[in-house]
Amino acid sequence: MDTRLQKRVSQCIIIWMLTVTISLSYLSHYASDAQKTFYQFGPNAHLMILGFQIDTYGKYVAVVSYSFINSMVRTLHSSFLHPWLINHIQDETKEKPHSIRSFAYEVTFVTTIYVWFDWFIYMNILLSQIDMMIIEMIADVIMSSTTTYYYLKTGPETTPLV
């Protein structure tokens, strides 16, 4: 399996992320105090998520816990349900037994509604404060690594679609 292109793309993305991080760090020196509230850490009077002030450690832990749990759910969606739809339902070369029709619609509805639900909450959390973005990123890295580990140790198998 040739992975040279993927390696180059990965390296380009790393360089891009470093460029953005360095640029934001540089620009933050010129930001006003009001603009710097995004770059705070932990609970504080300026941390607002969905209109709720996250000013105590109890509320902060609840948001962090939600982020980790939702990251698990997001990974289950993107690594299990969505690929199943693409590889088993949307692949026109595959046989689709009549018995999986209702399940296919269930997965379609669940994944579609979840994407919107997740997007709404995710954007509100990510755009509230820099530490929330870091927490979401760490949770996603943990879950993506877990999923990759699962797929690397799992071989091909012949199981029914449902």
DSSP state letter for 53: E
Instruction: Tell me how far apart the alpha carbons of residues 122 and 120 are, in angstroms, rounded to a whole number.
Output: 6
The whole-angstrom separation of Cα 136 and Cα 93 is 37
- Alpha carbon distance 15, 1 (integer Å): 25
Whether 129 and 68 have beta carbons less than 8 Å apart is answered as no
What distance, in Å, lies between the first and last C-alpha atoms of the chain?
30
Upper half-sphere CA count for residue 61 (Cβ side, 13 Å): 3
- Residue-wise pLDDT for 50-109, tens only, equals 999 999 999 999 999 998 899 889 988 988 889 889 988 888 888 888 888 899 999 999
CA distance 128 to 49: 6
Closest by CA to 48, choosing from 130, 128, 162, is: 128
Q: Read off the pLDDT of residues 3-24 as tens digits, 9 standing for 90 and up.
A: 888 889 999 999 999 999 899 8
- Which residues on adjacent β-strands are paired with residue 48? 53
Q: For residue 70, give the nearest of 130, 143, 148 by alpha carbon.
A: 143
Q: Which helix (H) or strand (E) holds 139?
A: helix 130-153
DSSP string, 57-75: HHHHHHHHHHHHHHHHHHH
Please give the average per-residue pLDDT across 118-126, as a whole number.
Answer: 90
Please give the pLDDT value at position 92. 86
With 0.75 as the threshold, say if the pTM is over it: no
The C-alpha atoms of residue 102 and residue 27 are separated, in whole angstroms, by 52
